[in-house]
């Protein structure tokens, strides 16, 4: 029996778009995302264990640079080029790092991919 290979996604060609999350930028330019904890299990832990209703996710310098640019107008490749210009050698290894960043954002449903 012949197995067909699943086509691999080329993240550099994709266009990311921010999910509708609340977010703030502090005076140093660092971005903080605010994710509301919803659902039955979250409500139980909020009551019993005094967990917060909103979780704050603090992005690093490169994440804070990228987050405002995720408006659905640029591909991951274009965003990576902007990171390279802004951070230089500090962004290396650039492409594996950027792809992993977007995979993590996608896994937490913080972004979605815009159709071309």
In tens digits, what is the pLDDT along the chain, a chain of 116 residues? 566 666 677 878 999 999 999 999 999 999 999 988 777 776 777 777 777 777 889 999 999 999 999 999 999 999 999 999 999 999 999 999 999 999 999 999 999 998 76
The pair of structure tokens assigned to 22 is 């609340």
Q: Is residue 18 classed as helix, strand or coil in its secondary structure?
A: strand
Alpha-carbon distance 84 to 74, whole Å? Answer: 15
Alpha-carbon torsion, ordered 74, 5, 103, 93, to 10 deg: -80
pLDDT at 4: 65
Number of residues that this document lists for the chain = 116
Structure pTM?
Answer: 0.80
Checking 4-9 for CB contacts under 8 A at 24+ apart, the result is: none
The predicted structure's pLDDT at residue 51: 75
Residue 50: the pLDDT is: 76
Retrieve residue 71's tokens: 């408006």
């Amino acid at each position: 029996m012949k197995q067909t290979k699943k086509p691999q996604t080329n993240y550099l060609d994709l266009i990311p778009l921010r999910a509708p999350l609340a977010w703030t930028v502090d005076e140093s330019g660092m971005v903080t995302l605010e994710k509301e904890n919803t659902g039955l299990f979250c409500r139980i832990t909020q009551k019993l264990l005094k967990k917060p209703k909103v979780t704050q996710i603090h992005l690093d310098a490169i994440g804070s640079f990228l987050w405002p640019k995720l408006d659905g107008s640029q591909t991951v490749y274009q965003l990576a080029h902007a990171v390279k210009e802004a951070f230089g050698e500090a962004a290396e290894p650039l492409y594996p790092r950027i792809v992993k960043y977007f995979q993590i954002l996608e896994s937490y449903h913080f972004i979605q991919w815009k159709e071309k």
